[in-house]
Copies of this chain bind each other. A is one copy, B any other.
Amino acid sequence: MRLSQLLIPTLREVPAEAEIPSHTLMLKAAMMRKLASGVYIYLPLGKRVLKKIEEIVREEMDRAGAQEVLMPAIIPAELLKESGRWDVFGPEMFKLKDRNDREFCLGPTHEEVFTDLVRNEVKSYRQLPLTIYQIQTKYRDERRPRFGVMRSREFIMKDAYSFDADWDGLDVSFDKMYDAYCRIFDRCGLKYTVVEADSGAMGGKDSKEFMVTSSVGEAVIAYCDSCGYAANEEKAECIVEHESDEEMKPLEKIHTPDVRTIDELVSYLDVKADKFVKTLIYKYKGKIAAVLVRGDREVNTVKLANLLKVNENDIDLAYEETVRSVTGANVGFAGPIGLKGDVLLIADAEVPMMKNIIVGANETDYHLKNANYGRDFKADVVSDIRKVVDGDKCPRCGNPLKLERGIEVGHIFKLGTKYSDALGANYIDENGNEKPMIMGCYGIGLNRIAAAAIEQNHDDKGIIWPMSIAPYHAIVVPVNVSNDAQRNLAEKIYDELSKAGIETLIDDRDLRAGVKFNDADLLGIPIRITVGKKASDNIVELKLRRDENSIELNYDEVVNKVKELIINSI
């Protein structure tokens, strides 16, 4: 393709809307444009990258024995009502009505549609196991679309669903997908970590996320260098330290006028935050819970939701009014002793190990000193409900955990019978008995792979594409198109590369060499062939985008050299 003809409106300036490198570079390198918040147009280069990722995903799914289908994006409401998810998704799901007032959503995911298909078409154990997938457009009306295609509202997902006769079968299907995912991300040139993820309150067994480590990732990963344990922040277990051997002191009420937050208390009382326990009042499904965590800890709402057996978005911090009615005090003075009404008191597992704690007094402008679990208060439930922090002990081996940010690019999940039970997806086994199918689901965000690849492969000048997903393999740059020798040789090389099946660009624009080199670097094409002054001697320069140095080649060596470079890097 000729750059003079390609729709490639590269930008010189960093676009104001861009927040992270991949977002900036996808705009600057003319891969995409924004149509609306979280809704993007893919320009020719962006579309090519997506297509390459799509083909890798498809090849690996097919290799793993999964069968490709295509589901509609518009899904009748009845199916999601049958599974109970119509209300669960809330405003994140785009809803619409057709001309006959029938309700639909734009599928945020397709568990129900696949389960519905399979319950209708698969009846016997002989038809199992079955893994089916699609590469299809998904819709999520994100509250805060951001980071370009990293969190967009319309995006392309590969979603696969496995159906097995039993849990052992699911393990096999799951492992096949695990291996396929590793091959996919390897082939896309990504460095990734597989982490344990939360599998929700309702059924589900193993849940693993494929995380591309990146400082701009929205997720936090806890990992152990010693034993290899890795989990996302929501899932990572927190190990309880030994009980403090301090002696219990007498409970004491202290005056803390207008001192409400832990930070304010720390400076007012000159005591470290780990001597406090925070009491947080939550509402969930019309009920109230008071949650106790150490002053320097944070509540992990996923753990809390699992404990309460509700969805995470069913939980919210209570408004002032509720706090007042439960504590009898202004906000900022809640504590575990003397809460009023029907309140479930939950203590993080760390709390009973502490001694002589400072807590709110449930009285405006007062706290209690030297409160002790067991003596002064007891929780209804004690459980691990806090967020992991850097240096926490590894739940496997006890060595310190490290935290790192990551971009979730894939998720595989043993669903079990959640959807087959809800929708009645049963099969008849060898003995004529009806049983629910055991399901797994497996998702990959294609657009996100592109963005993650850029996050891991770029420099100040632009993108550095891994060969496997580069929009083109090579770019031929005649330094001066007015020079006949240069232009002719460049055209000849472009022709020969193209004929050899190498995806090649030629920058045939009548621009300064510097501009052309800048664009080539910005676009991130892995191999650049520069045709300059030595063209008359049939000598050209070959440079890899990821290297500083270039080599000189005789014109007739170019095709073989480029082929070799491509083969070695895919």
Chain A positions near chain B (C-beta within 8 angstroms): 4-7, 9, 33, 35-36, 39-44, 46-48, 50-51, 65, 67-76, 91-92, 94-96, 98-99, 102, 104, 106, 113, 116-117, 120-122, 126-127, 130, 132, 134, 137, 139, 141, 143, 153-154
Contacts and interface: CB of A to CB of B under 8 A. Distances in A.
Contacts of A70: 41-42, 46-47, 50
A99 B95 contact: no
Contacts of A72: 35-36, 39-41, 154
12 contacts: A7-B130, A35-B72, A35-B116, A44-B67, A44-B68, A51-B68, A73-B73, A73-B137, A74-B106, A74-B154, A99-B143, A137-B137
Given A7-B132, A113-B41, A154-B74, A47 B33 contact: no
A164 to B, nearest CB: 13
Interface of A is mostly: mixed
A104 B94 CA distance: 11
A89 to B, nearest CB: 11
Given A74-B39, A91-B99, A99-B91, A67 B121 contact: no
A121 B154 contact: no
Nearest to A91: B99
Nearest to A67: B44
A508 to B, nearest CB: 12
A499 B153 CA distance: 42
A377 to B, nearest CB: 41
A154 B113 CA distance: 15
Contacts of A94: 74, 96, 98
Nearest to A40: B72
Contacts of A68: 44, 47-48, 51
Contacts of A91: 99
B6 A67 contact: yes
A7 to B, nearest CB: 6
A99 B143 CA distance: 8
B41 A71 contact: yes
Nearest to A116: B35
Given A7-B121, A73-B73, A73-B154, 18 more contacts: A7-B127, A9-B122, A33-B121, A36-B72, A36-B102, A39-B76, A40-B72, A41-B117, A42-B69, A44-B68, A46-B69, A47-B68, A47-B70, A47-B134, A74-B106, A91-B99, A98-B141, A99-B143
Nearest to A105: B96
A116 B143 CA distance: 26
Q: Which of A72, A134, A137 has the most chain B CB atoms closer than 10 A to its own CB?
A: A72
